[in-house]
Structure formats: structure tokens, C-alpha cells
């Protein structure tokens, strides 16, 4: 028999030597584990000491810090930890005053959560720009969820005037607490029901809006005339910064397992049809937090794990095989992430031959009763593997606890790696010698100031239709200020969208529109006349009327109706559409028309 003592001894020595070597770690530090046990404490910011150690200025006391490229993966882990901590703290069972109830754990399913003591956007931005109620009253009003329809104009549809929900909430294109996704349209589940959306904010954001009267258009115009809008960031570990959240809710049916979802009841005032009440399951959640480390905010987005794919060997609590909520695996040939065609609210195009809006009619909205084909949704960009590994850690601990939040996962976190780094949207297209060069890829990667990473981040239940993949660079590079159909940079790139990239364009009202003679332009709704706002845009830290990444001011704020005499109303209703007052103090009516989209792309190459 051969002598194995010496070979084995050498092997043990080698193993001992290898064990003494330091473990391999990612560039810039180790991949931190999620801190346990779970805490109800809402984090003020990312771990500042960890971020400082990864920065180019490890001796600098306070954030923001600049993170070099080789340390971004390690820093990303700390931001992902922040996102999970915030998600769990916001979903912690709450006491009646909104503080976390530490006598309960995340295994509790029935107690109202901390975020349910935040203020719904519809309570802040009210009809005719009325001031919101005091905080406590606003919290109480926010607890009864109502998902309103969204539309393309102001005013209350005739069949909704008796909806009995108090103040009418302004319908907007893809606005929060509504039925349409941002700037697109409805997402439809496998049972033919529309997904609903809700937006809310914490007291820090609420107080900032109320103190500066930014909840209406008149207040925004007065404020932006002398100030830049900057929401409060956290103050160390003494005070939290502004937080906004947005959630997507799927109407429950017999196909879903309630044990796998956070479920809440809500009333729906649909785009078409009668109001009704139903149970809804949480399928997506955005969290935006203004912090000292992140002047462009920290953006976290979560989804339910069953949204677009499942382990089809796994069964639910009723013994049924799991099925995706927004994807039909039985017919994988259905086009993915495709918006349903509009089929309601026809409007005549502007006819240049007659100078009137008597051209061909086009649909401008959706009839909910006719728009029931399910949206075949898929996630174009996979969850990064480092984030997926953290998800596995957290979800395993939540499963041991018996918490429903084991069925949710972090899709990703956006944050600024270099807060002083400039954004240069379309910044390389115009050359000094007159040439026009394509602005991609730089104008996409560096669209947002602060070198925000990752470049793309979307939630498949909230930005379904922005997952276009290969597409012209122009719209992604922020050339939307050009006329409809005109594309400055037709270069083909791969892109989706991102939380920060979208909110970067949010503006506040800076003025009311006038005609060339000084008359204030008006539009009519609900037998009242309203002024037409002009909005700033782009959070580039300049005095150009940006809303510091919050779309709510532009999408939800209203103005008070203009008080007109009977004579002025008669004059506006006349053929000229103007009052007989001197132009500087007069008014003119505006008709909204749809211009034909006939422009061709600009040959930027």
C-alpha cells in the first residue's frame, strides 16, 4: 500500500497556508452584509463613514463625497443596504402617531404601516390651489385610499361630479394616485384590470411645500422669482430629509395568493365607469430620499418577486403553481412592454387649410371598459448580481420571520458618485466650427449632474413602456424641447430610463402665459377660467425654475380661477375670444389644438 502520510501532510500544509490568506474582496473594500436584526429606524442617509472610506477624500468630515470608479461597486452595496433599510422601516407596523411600533415585527400583516401616515399627494395639491389641511388632518384624510382616473385636461367629467370623495383631484397625464403610468398610459394585469398608482410624502417635504406655498401655481411663481427650489436634506442623524414615495397596486382576484402580498383596500374612481371599492396588492414601490450624500436624491425601487417571472416548480399557500402577475408564459410571442392604443376622447386636429380645429379626429385617452388586453411585461435589464445577492440575504431573514416582505426585492438604487460632476445634456452636439455631432453616448450617461449611477433604473410596474431597448438617442438625451417628431440625434443606442433621469426634467411654474399684446391667456374648465402656466425644467442647480426632481409640483398643482365680470365672459365667448380691456390688463381665450406630427428627423450626422 502506498505511503499517504507525506502527501497528505503536504496537502494539509497547503490548505493551512491558503486559509491564512486574506479573502478576496471587491475593489475598494468588502461587500457588506445586511445588518441584522431588522430595525424599525428609518435611515437618515447611507452609512457616511463607509462612504467616506471609499471616497477620494477620506479625511473629509461631511458628505457629499466623490467615489472613484473602482470603488463604485463597494459603494453601491452601501446604497442598496440603505434602500432595504428604508423599505423595511417604511413598511414597519406603526403606532397611531405614525412612529414605528417596536412591540411588533415585520411578521405583522394587519397594522397600518409607517408610510400610511405619510400624506397623499392629492391632499397636498388641491382643487384650485387651495391650501392643504394641517398635518394631522391631512394624515387622517390620506388613510382612506382613493385611486382617481387620469386625463389630459383640467375639469371634472360629468359622470364623476357625484363621486363623493371631497375635493376633486386634478387628473393629469400619468399623475400619481391615478390610473396611468407616468407620461404613457395604463398597465393591465393578466385579469384585464388596470394597475393603480399612489404617491405620498413625509412631513419634511410637506412642511417645505406648505411654508413656501409651493402647493399651488401662484405660490410657485412667486417663489421661483427669487429662489431656487431645494428640498431639505437630512441634518446628520438629527433630522431626516424630504422623502417621496410612489406605489403601484394590482387589484386582487381569485388568481393571487393574499399570503404573498401586502394587501390594502381602496376606492377607485376609474377613467370610465362607476366608482367601486376593492382589495389591492402592492406590486411596486419607489422611494426617493433627499440626503446630504446625494443632492440628486437617493432613488430606490422595489418590486414583487412574481411580477414578470416565477419559479414554476414552486407552489403558493393554496398548493397552486405560481404564475407571473404581468406576463403570460403560455403565449410568449405577445409583444412585450407595449402600450395599448388610445380609444377614447377624440379630438380634432388643427387644420392649417381652415385655421380651425376641424381636421381628422384622433383619440387622446383610453376607455377602461374597452382596454382590457393584458400588458405583457418583462424586465429588460436584469437585477445586478451584487444586488440580487443582497436580496437573497434579506429575503431569507424575512422568510425566517414569516414576513410577507420576503416576496419583495430591490431592483436597484441610483445615487450620485460625484456630486460636482456636470451634466451635459446634448452638450457635445454643437461644435465651434458649426458641425453637428451626435451627442450620444455622453449626453445619456452624463445627462444628470452628479455622475449618477447606475445610468438606467426602471420599475416594470411604473415605467413599463420606457423599456424600449434599442432606440434613437435624441429623446433619451433630453432633446424633447424640439417640436414633436424632430430628433436632434438619431444615433441608435440601447436605453430604458431611470428614476433620476426622468425626475431631472421636473419643473415648477415660473409665470402665466400671455399673448404678444400682454393679455393673460385663459382656458376654460368646469365653467371657470384658468390661467396657463409656464414651467421651468431640469435640476441643474441654475435659476431656471426646476423643481428639485419632484414632478408633483408640475403635475398636480393648480391655480385659483380668474374672477371675471359677466361682460368679460361674454367677450371671451365671442368670435374674437378677447376682452375689451387694455391689453396689459385684459384676457384672451386659448383653444388647445393637436398639431399634425409631420416633421422629419434632423440630419445631425
> What whole-number distance in Å separates Cα of residue 522 and Cα of residue 23?
68
| Total count of residues recorded for the chain | 605
Q: Which CA distances in Å does 275 have to 125, 390, 544?
A: 22, 41, 41
Assess whether pLDDT exceeds 60 at residue 599. Answer: no
Mean pLDDT of the chain, nearest integer: 84
408 CA to centre of own chain: 18
For 260-289, how does the pLDDT look when each residue is reduced to its tens digit (9 = 90+)?
999 998 888 776 677 788 899 999 999 999
Q: Give the mean pLDDT of 214-233.
A: 95
> What whole-number distance in Å separates Cα of residue 275 and Cα of residue 269?
4
For 169-199, how does the pLDDT look when each residue is reduced to its tens digit (9 = 90+)?
333 333 345 788 888 899 999 999 999 988 8
Residue indicated by cell numbers 411663481: 221
> What whole-number distance in Å separates Cα of residue 79 and Cα of residue 51?
9
Q: Of 452, 454, 304, nearest to 386 (Cα)?
A: 454
* DSSP state, residue 20: H
Assess whether pLDDT exceeds 60 at residue 149. Answer: no
For 452-501, how does the pLDDT look when each residue is reduced to its tens digit (9 = 90+)?
999 999 999 999 999 988 988 777 776 555 555 666 677 788 988 888 88
Residue extents of the structural domains in the chain: 509-589
Q: Which three cell numbers stand for residue 282?
A: 402592492
> What whole-number distance in Å separates Cα of residue 147 and Cα of residue 161?
15
pLDDT of residue 14: 39
Assess whether pLDDT exceeds 80 at residue 235. Answer: yes
pLDDT of residue 450: 93
CB 218 within 8 A of CB 559: yes
Alpha helices in 160-216 (DSSP H): 203-211
Amino acid at each position: 500500500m502506498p505511503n499517504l502520510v507525506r502527501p497528505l501532510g503536504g496537502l494539509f500544509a497547503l490548505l493551512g497556508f491558503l486559509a491564512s490568506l486574506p479573502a478576496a474582496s471587491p475593489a475598494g473594500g468588502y461587500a457588506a452584509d445586511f445588518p441584522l436584526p431588522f430595525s424599525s429606524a428609518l435611515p437618515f442617509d447611507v452609512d457616511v463613514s463607509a462612504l467616506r472610506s471609499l471616497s477620494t477624500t477620506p479625511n473629509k468630515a461631511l458628505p457629499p463625497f466623490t467615489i472613484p470608479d473602482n470603488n463604485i461597486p463597494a459603494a453601491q452595496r452601501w446604497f442598496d443596504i440603505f434602500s432595504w433599510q428604508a423599505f423595511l422601516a417604511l413598511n414597519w407596523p406603526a403606532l397611531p402617531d405614525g412612529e414605528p411600533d417596536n412591540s411588533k415585527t415585520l411578521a405583522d400583516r394587519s397594522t397600518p404601516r409607517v408610510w400610511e401616515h405619510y400624506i397623499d399627494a392629492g391632499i397636498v395639491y388641491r382643487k384650485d390651489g387651495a391650501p392643504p389641511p394641517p398635518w394631522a388632518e391631512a394624515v387622517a384624510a390620506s388613510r382612506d385610499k382613493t385611486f382617481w382616473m387620469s386625463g389630459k385636461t383640467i375639469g371634472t367629467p360629468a359622470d364623476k361630479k357625484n363621486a363623493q370623495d371631497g375635493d376633486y383631484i386634478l387628473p393629469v397625464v400619468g399623475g400619481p394616485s391615478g390610473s396611468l403610468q407616468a407620461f404613457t398610459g395604463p398597465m393591465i394585469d393578466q385579469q384585464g384590470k388596470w394597475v393603480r398608482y399612489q404617491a405620498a410624502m413625509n412631513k419634511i417635504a410637506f412642511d417645505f411645500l406648505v411654508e413656501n406655498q409651493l402647493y399651488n401655481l401662484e405660490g410657485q411663481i412667486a417663489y421661483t422669482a427669487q429662489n431656487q427650489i431645494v428640498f431639505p436634506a437630512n441634518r446628520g442623524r438629527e433630522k431626516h430629509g424630504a422623502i417621496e414615495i410612489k406605489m403601484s397596486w394590482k387589484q386582487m382576484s381569485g388568481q393571487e395568493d393574499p399570503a404573498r402580498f401586502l394587501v390594502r383596500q381602496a376606492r377607485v374612481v376609474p377613467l370610465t365607469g362607476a366608482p367601486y371599492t376593492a382589495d389591492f396588492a402592492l406590486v411596486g414601490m419607489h422611494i426617493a430620499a433627499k440626503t446630504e450624500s446625494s443632492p440628486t436624491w437617493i432613488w430606490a425601487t422595489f418590486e414583487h418577486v412574481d411580477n414578470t417571472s416565477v419559479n414554476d416548480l414552486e407552489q403558493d399557500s393554496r398548493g397552486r403553481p405560481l404564475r407571473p402577475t404581468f406576463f403570460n408564459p403560455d403565449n410568449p410571442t405577445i409583444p412585450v412592454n407595449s402600450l395599448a392604443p388610445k380609444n377614447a376622447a377624440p379630438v380634432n386636429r388643427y387644420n392649417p387649410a381652415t385655421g380651425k380645429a376641424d381636421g381628422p379626429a384622433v383619440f387622446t385617452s383610453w376607455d377602461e371598459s374597452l382596454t382590457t388586453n393584458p400588458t405583457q411585461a418583462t424586465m429588460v435589464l436584469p437585477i445586478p448580481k451584487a444586488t440580487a445577492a443582497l436580496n437573497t440575504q434579506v429575503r431569507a431573514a424575512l422568510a425566517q420571520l414569516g414576513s410577507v416582505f420576503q416576496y419583495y426585492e430591490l431592483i436597484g438604487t441610483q445615487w450620485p458618485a460625484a456630486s460636482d460632476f456636470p451634466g451635459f445634456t446634448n452638450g457635445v452636439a454643437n461644435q465651434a466650427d458649426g458641425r453637428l455631432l451626435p451627442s450620444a453616448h455622453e449626453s445619456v450617461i452624463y445627462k444628470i449632474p452628479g455622475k449618477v449611477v447606475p445610468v438606467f433604473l426602471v420599475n416594470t410596474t411604473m415605467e413599463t413602456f420606457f423599456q424600449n431597448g434599442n432606440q434613437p438617442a435624441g429623446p433619451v438625451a433630453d432633446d424633447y424641447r424640439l417640436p414633436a417628431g424632430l430628433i436632434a440625434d438619431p444615433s441608435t443606442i440601447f436605453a430604458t430610463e431611470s428614476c433620476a433621469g426622468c425626475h431631472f426634467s421636473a419643473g415648477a411654474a415660473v409665470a402665466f402665459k400671455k399673448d404678444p399684446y400682454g393679455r393673460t391667456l385663459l382656458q376654460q374648465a368646469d365653467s371657470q377660467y384658468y390661467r396657463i402656466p409656464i414651467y421651468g425644467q431640469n435640476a441643474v442647480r441654475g435659476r431656471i425654475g426646476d423643481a428639485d426632481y419632484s414632478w408633483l409640483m408640475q403635475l398636480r398643482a393648480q391655480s385659483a380661477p380668474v374672477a371675471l365680470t359677466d361682460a368679460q365672459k361674454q367677450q371671451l365667448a365671442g368670435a374674437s375670444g378677447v376682452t375689451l380691456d387694455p391689453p396689459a390688463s385684459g384676457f384672451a381665450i386659448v383653444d388647445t389644438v393637436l398639431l399634425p406630427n409631420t416633421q422629419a428627423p434632423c440630419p445631425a450626422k
